[in-house]
């Protein structure tokens, strides 16, 4: 299973705040931003770097600098809540957007928007906070690969075993980084215990 679950105590603390149904939208957004920072730091652990030398006020010393460009693709609309953290960490990131809407009866997602840069050679993050059935993630990764990306990490807040299994089956080369692996899905295919509809809670549209 190509899944990494954060074990940092701060990540666990932030996740509880997101799960809490009484957390208002403004706090939900701030908490999402902080947790995303932790997720992205883990997700980019294998990004390429190069050796360099720098002159400090004392002497010349060696160090490492990033040598691989980054791409980020949030899945609309919930994935937008994760984007700012990526831009703060990597200001030169190339950003694309994929819009998918889920049919509440079938849980099948259909695309309504796609705008992607050339992702060839870029270490690319697919941002979608909820990995439920894996259908949306699978479609998004297919489009990201079509844009040239070959080094892709799926970044989510919570994941269901069904979604992890689906994405691992369809895209075994894609690593998944999540703050939690939850119990599963209910009869509406919502993640249990989950945290509700992420987009609604993010934007106060419940």
Active site residues: 102, 106, 197, 200
Three-state DSSP at 76 gives strand
Residue 94 Cα to chain centre, angstroms: 15
Q: What is the DSSP letter of 16?
A: H
Helices (H), 53-117: 80-89
Stated as kind and residue range, the H or E segment containing 38 is helix 25-43
Q: What is the DSSP letter of 153?
A: E
CA distance 194 to 161: 12
Strands 175-181 and 3-5: parallel
């Amino acid at each position: 299973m190509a899944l990494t679950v954060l074990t940092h105590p701060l990540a666990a603390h932030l996740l509880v705040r997101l799960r809490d149904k009484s957390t208002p939208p403004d706090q939900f957004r701030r908490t999402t931003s902080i947790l995303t920072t932790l997720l992205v730091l883990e997700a980019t652990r294998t990004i390429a770097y190069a050796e360099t030398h720098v002159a400090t006020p004392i002497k010349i010393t060696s160090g490492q600098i990033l040598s691989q460009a980054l791409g980020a693709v949030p899945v609309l609309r919930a994935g937008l809540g994760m984007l700012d953290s990526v831009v703060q960490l990597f200001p030169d990131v190339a950003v694309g957007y994929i819009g998918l809407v889920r049919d509440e009866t079938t849980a099948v997602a259909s695309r309504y928007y796609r705008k992607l840069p050339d992702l060839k050679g870029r270490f690319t993050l697919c941002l979608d906070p909820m990995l439920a059935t894996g259908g949306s993630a699978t479609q998004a990764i297919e489009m990201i690969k079509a844009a040239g990306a070959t080094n892709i990490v799926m970044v989510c807040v919570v994941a269901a075993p069904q979604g992890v299994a689906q994405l691992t089956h369809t895209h075994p080369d894609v690593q998944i980084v999540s703050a939690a692996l939850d119990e599963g899905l209910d009869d509406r295919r919502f993640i249990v215990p989950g945290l509700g509809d992420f987009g609604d809670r993010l934007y106060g549209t419940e």
